[in-house]
Amino acid sequence: MGRNPVTWLGSPTFPDAARRSLGDTQLRGNLRKATTTIRGKRESAVAELDDWEQLRRAGEAVKDDVLANLDTYLERLEAAVSERGGVVHWARDAEEANRIVLDLVRQEDADEVVKVKSMATAEIGLNEALADGGVDAIETDLAEVIVQLGEDRPSHILVPAIHRNRAEIKEIFAQMPDPPDSDDPRALAEAARKYLRRKFLSAKVAISGANFGVADTGSIVVVESEGNGRMCLTLPETLITVMGVEKVLPRWQDLEVFLQLLPRSSTAERMNPYTSIWSGVTPGDGPQKFHLVLLDNGRTSTLADEVGRQALRCIRCSACLNVCPVYERTGGQAYGSVYPGPIGAILAPQLAGDLHDEQAASLPYASSLCGACYEVCPVRINIPEVLTHLRAEVVEAKGKRTPEAMAMSAAAWVFGSRRRYEAAQKAGSLTRLLARGGNLSSLPWPGSKWTDTRDAPVVPKESFRTWWRRNRG
Amino acid sequence: MSGPRVALFPTCLTDTAFPETGKAMVRLLERLGCDVDFPLDQTCCGQMHFNTGYAELARPMARAYADVFDGYDYVVAPSGSCAGMVREIHPTLCPTSPAVERTYELSEFLVDVLGVVDVGAHFPHRVTYHPTCHSLRMLGVGDKPLSLLRAVSGLELVPLPQAEQCCGFGGTFALKNAETSTAMLADKMRCVQDTGAQVVTAGDNSCLMQIGGGLSRLQAGVRPVHLAEILASTQEEPWVATP
């Protein structure tokens, strides 16, 4: 089994990557504008529904049922898809999924495939695996086109090119056969449209992800905004869908809940422009060969963690990214994974499954635990709870000999007795001797991490308890 | 008159570094008829340990908390964050005493338990209020602190833009991700300064330590003052700036 590509090989730890991103003025400006706008819009879209809280609870309940009975629903889905003429494949990890897809593409003698925007295929590094096998995977979602042609990495789940501006996009599009003549959004979209039309019409094979897979009917659902997905899902002869196993829903009627939760949370729309649903193969209509690859890649091991498993409820709306004060400043690439932001901080390390890895271990700490993510999550994932839970696992993986663990043990020892605590207060108040003009502006490491940018409070000679004892004791 | 028996839980941070807030709590609660006590055996609720990944080290602190505060009618803390730690997290760590459920953040205690909004305070300054994340999202204090501030005579309350954005403190986050924490702080300070307020207040000294520490470094001329100190201030015994 190879390394799980859900986190990018060679990525620096979050604090190091963030330091770089924070200095990128283009990124900061784009993110500030985009997240502020979408935050406001989401709030209005959600406020329109009186039963939003009930919808969230319903979404949570359906997903929890799915996670508790995953085996049953997946077998039901497999049976329903097979009955309707589809072929179901099971992939344990990224390597297996990539091999299955590559073999299927080769069977069709195709050296180019068109792709619907998909987190699952990005997670497993499918495009790179196909390229190694001599197959060009062409992204067709506008933002994914920008990322792909720019040989870049995504920085947002829904808007992967959120870090780019118009001028940069024009530069990137210059390699198209009909490049745009200006950086006017209409000219850029027109250039992309011409480039993509040729691809849609010539492709024999399309590859998609799935937002939902309905077990009862064997129906796969993809929601999108641009119509590129609809082209991929209807024009080619062969369709291959890679779906994370947790995307299964028990019943058709469950879609009622999620088709309300998802668009309002992600794009702040009442309904997304395109919802494509297909069940197996329909003779004479759409792809005549349909393959469904059910992907595990760390999901069942995540499922084994009672606290961490709620991350698998995620429907990839990105509402948590848009409200996150950390994401807003660092952008998505700092997280070193296709899953950035608060959800990425709990999902990527769990899927990667190795908290000994410095980069993965830094992700659960990429949060001030402000809780804004939990507040907006349409399936009520308690992200702060999972973050602290994963931090405890990181601490356990690192062992008791780190300077931090030793300092924490010492602090706990001090707090363990009133006498020690009071002695420490007296010692702490000696730092007032370092103060100048009422400010404490420079402390030795690790206090310097604070005083590099902020003054520290001058600990007074008399603590509250000393005052209490003097006056009330 | 014998009011409720209230134990003060000023938190280790306030006890050690911000004693004026503790004294203000005593003045305020006694003025409102409470029988105030400060159990000297209290130390820390264990939040820093728990939030940094040391739940095992926080567990004995949670146990000690339940013991120390057992028997009081209420426990009141000048901190949404520590009250949240006690009420939301302690029950997940160890068997707790009724004191845990009866632990309140100051504004909750005043409005929900004592049922007062006008506490008879006087504070003639231009003030902006930062709702701290844990008071807002963990405890759900809503606009209780604002209603308390609106009832303070002489106080000019100016709304803080993007008030609900985190100040960037986040406990050890401020050290582990110091740069990102500072970027968040910079925006918070800009919003505070845009209000033209002389005083920025909040229900948590930890967040005020972050915001105030940044403002002080910039010599911004805006002072952090805990909500308790504003509410304790009266015509007769006005708030006095400590150096």
| Burial class for A105, CB neighbours closer than 10 Å (0-12, 13-18, 19+) | buried
> Which pLDDT band, with edges at 50, 70 and 90, does B93 fall under?
very high
Task: Return the pLDDT at A434.
Answer: 85
- For B126-232, give the CATH class: alpha beta
A395 CB neighbours in chain B (<8 A) are: 52-54
Cβ separation of B213 and A371 shorter than 8 Å? no
Share of chain B above pLDDT 70, in %: 99
A18 CB neighbours in chain B (<8 A) are: 177, 179-180
Distance from CA of B211 to the nearest CA of A (A): 8
* Distance (Å, whole) CA A141 – CA A159: 10
A402 CB neighbours in chain B (<8 A) are: none
Taking CA atoms, what residue in B is nearest to A410? B57
* pLDDT exceeds cutoff 90 at A171: yes
Residue A470 has which token pair? 């003097």
* pLDDT exceeds cutoff 70 at B243: no
Write out residues 156-175 of B within 8 Å (CB-CB) of A.
164-166, 168-175
* pLDDT exceeds cutoff 70 at B17: yes
- The CA distances from residue A199 to A140, A161, A202, A341, in Å, are 9, 21, 5, 32
Contacts of residue A335, defined as CB under 8 A and 6 or more positions apart, other chains included, come to: A14, A17, A341, A344, A345, A348, A363, A366
Mean pLDDT of B191-207: 98
Cβ separation of A395 and B53 shorter than 8 Å? yes
Optimal mutation site among A322, A329, A368, A461, interface B, most CBs of chain B within 10 A = A368
To 5 degrees, how large is the angle CA A458–CA A463–CA A469? 165
Taking CA atoms, what residue in A is nearest to B224? A457
Distance from CA of A347 to the nearest CA of B (A): 17
Distance from CA of A73 to the nearest CA of B (A): 32
A90, containing H or E segment: strand A87-91
* Distance (Å, whole) CA B78 – CA B56: 26
Residue B200 has which token pair? 């920025």
Tell me: cis bond preceding B10? Omega within 30 of 0 counts: no
Average pLDDT across chain B, whole number: 97
As annotated, the residues of chain A forming the CATH 3.40.50.10420 domain(s) are 14-299
B54 CB neighbours in chain A (<8 A) are: 392, 395, 405, 408, 412
Write out residues 30-69 of B within 8 Å (CB-CB) of A.
38, 40-41, 43-44, 46, 48-58, 60-61, 64
B138–A contact, CB cutoff 8 A:
yes
* pLDDT exceeds cutoff 60 at B1: no
Pick from A364, A394, A450: CB nearest B175? A450
The dihedral through the CA atoms of A301, A306, A310, A313 has a sign that is positive
Mean pLDDT of A387-405: 97
Task: Return the pLDDT at A455.
Answer: 96
Write out residues 85-124 of B within 8 Å (CB-CB) of A.
none
Residue A353 has which token pair? 């499954």
Mean pLDDT of A112-119: 97
Structure-model confidence comparison of residues A443 and B224, the more confident one: B224
Within 13 A of A332's CA, how many CA atoms are on the CB side?
A: 29
* Distance (Å, whole) CA A62 – CA B92: 25
- DSSP per-residue letters across A405-452: HHHHHHHHHHHT-HHHHHHHHHHHHGGGGG-BTTBB----TTTHHHHT
Task: Return the pLDDT at A472.
Answer: 87
Biggest distance spanned by C-alpha atoms of chain A = 90
For B95-141, the pLDDT digits (tens) are 988 999 999 999 999 999 999 999 999 999 999 999 999 999 999 99
Taking CA atoms, what residue in B is nearest to A428? B16
* pLDDT exceeds cutoff 80 at A50: yes
* pLDDT exceeds cutoff 90 at A264: yes
Cβ separation of A438 and B243 shorter than 8 Å? yes
* Distance (Å, whole) CA B141 – CA B163: 14
Share of chain B above pLDDT 90, in %: 97
Distance from CA of A388 to the nearest CA of B (A): 6
By three-state DSSP, how is residue B106 classified? helix
Task: Return the pLDDT at A3.
Answer: 87
- Residue A348 one-letter amino acid: A
For A212-223, the pLDDT digits (tens) are 999 999 999 999
For A244-259, the pLDDT digits (tens) are 999 999 999 999 999 9
Cβ separation of A329 and B180 shorter than 8 Å? yes
Cβ separation of B175 and A449 shorter than 8 Å? yes
A342 CB neighbours in chain B (<8 A) are: none
- Asked whether the beta carbons of A307 and A138 are under 8 A apart, the reply is no
A428 CB neighbours in chain B (<8 A) are: 16-17
Task: Return the pLDDT at A321.
Answer: 98
Tell me whether domains B5-113 and B126-232 share a fold: yes
Residue with tokens 């606290």: A307
Residue with tokens 């009081």: B72
Task: Return the pLDDT at A432.
Answer: 86
To 5 degrees, how large is the angle CA A383–CA A385–CA A388? 110
Optimal mutation site among A382, A442, A464, interface B, most CBs of chain B within 10 A = A464
- DSSP per-residue letters across A224-280: ESSSHHHHHHHSSSEEEEEEEGGGEES-GGGHHHHHHHHHHHHT--SS-SEEEEEES
Structure-model confidence comparison of residues B33 and A473, the more confident one: B33
> Which pLDDT band, with edges at 50, 70 and 90, does B242 fall under?
confident
- The CA distances from residue B110 to A70, A404, B59, B202, in Å, are 48, 39, 29, 15
Average pLDDT across chain A, whole number: 96
- Asked whether the beta carbons of B70 and B103 are under 8 A apart, the reply is no
Distance from CA of A328 to the nearest CA of B (A): 9
Mean pLDDT of B137-162: 98
CATH placement of domain B5-113: 3.40.50
CATH placement of domain A14-299: 3.40.50.10420
A22 CB neighbours in chain B (<8 A) are: 179-180, 183
* Distance (Å, whole) CA A157 – CA A162: 10
Task: Return the pLDDT at A435.
Answer: 86
* Distance (Å, whole) CA B94 – CA A383: 22
By three-state DSSP, how is residue A223 classified? strand
Residue A282 has which token pair? 């329909």
Taking CA atoms, what residue in A is nearest to B11? A464
Strand A248-249, strand A205-208: pairing? unpaired
For A342-375, the pLDDT digits (tens) are 999 999 999 999 999 999 999 999 999 999 999 9
Domain boundaries, chain B: 5-113, 126-232
Q: Where are the beta strands (DSSP E) in chain B?
A: 5-8, 35-37, 74-77, 103-105, 126-129, 156-157, 199-202, 223-226
B88 CB neighbours in chain A (<8 A) are: none
For B35-77, the pLDDT digits (tens) are 999 999 999 999 999 999 999 999 999 999 999 999 999 999 9
* Distance (Å, whole) CA B24 – CA B226: 9
* Distance (Å, whole) CA B46 – CA B65: 9
Q: Pick from A444, A19, A334, A31: which is nearest to B183 by CA?
A: A19
Mutual angle of helices A142-149 and A166-173, in 10-degree steps? 70
Size of interface A-B (CB pairs under 8 A): 185
Q: Pick from A200, A201, A222: which is nearest to A145 by CA?
A: A200
* pLDDT exceeds cutoff 90 at A473: no
B178–A contact, CB cutoff 8 A:
yes
A438 CB neighbours in chain B (<8 A) are: 243
